[in-house]
């Protein structure tokens, strides 16, 4: 079973709106990372949040981490058509040998 599970599985929004997706995980982590994937190509690293951090910003991205609830959220503000992609959370846990464990992803469609 996968460590991270994203919610929702799919999201459709209008350009300019905000997109929020959530990730839940099961075990203690060192850090949690978010990646974007366009049309089945390689993954692009977006942002990493460490277990002792609660919130992090990068441009139009805002990530939160709640270790007590074992959950994270990714907010994309003022979305653009170019944000259309699949978004994955991945956990890095020492107990898992420091490999990345991915969730199933959220497919985001931003309509112009």
Partner 1 sequence: ETGVTQSPTHLIKTRGQQVTLRCSSQSGHNTVSWYQQALGQGPQFIFQYYREEENGRGNFPPRFSGLQFPNYSSELNVNALELDDSALYLCASSLASIFSTRAGYGYTFGSGTRLTVV
Tell me how far, at minimum, the Cβ of 50 lies from partner 1, in Å: 5
Size of interface with partner 1, in residues (CB under 8 A): 26
The one among 76, 103, 108, 110 contacting partner 1 by CB under 8 A: 103
Q: DSSP string spanning the chain?
A: --S-EEE-SEEEEETTS-EEEEEE-SS--SEEEEEEESTT--EEEEEEEETT-SEEEETTEEEEEETTTTEEEEEE-S--GGG-EEEEEEEE-GGGTT-EEE---EEEEEE-
Q: Would you say 94 or 111 has its CB closer to partner 1? A: 94
**By C-alpha distance, which of 73, 63, 64 is closest to 21?**
73
30: Cα within 13 Å, side-chain hemisphere: 10
Residues of this chain, 12-41, that bind partner 1 according to CB under 8 A: 30-31, 33, 35, 40-41
Of positions 59, 68, 82, 98, contacts partner 1 by CB under 8 A: 98
Please, which residue, 11 or 103, has the CB nearer to partner 1? 103
Q: Could you say which of 45, 57, 80, 111 contacts partner 1 (CB under 8 A)?
A: 45
* Contact positions vs partner 1 (CB under 8 A): 2, 4, 30-31, 33, 35, 40-45, 48, 50, 88, 92, 94, 97-105
């Amino acid at each position: 079973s996968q460590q991270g599970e994203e919610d929702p599985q799919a999201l459709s929004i209008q350009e300019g709106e905000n997109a929020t997706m959530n990730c839940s995980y099961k075990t203690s982590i060192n850090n949690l990372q978010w990646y974007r994937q366009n049309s089945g190509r390689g993954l692009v690293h977006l942002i990493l949040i460490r277990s002792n951090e609660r919130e992090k910003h990068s441009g139009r991205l805002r990530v939160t981490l709640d270790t007590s609830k074992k959950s994270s959220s990714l907010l994309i503000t003022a979305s653009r058509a170019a944000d259309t992609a699949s978004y994955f959370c991945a956990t890095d846990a020492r107990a898992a040998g420091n490999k990345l464990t991915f969730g199933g992803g959220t497919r985001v469609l931003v309509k112009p």
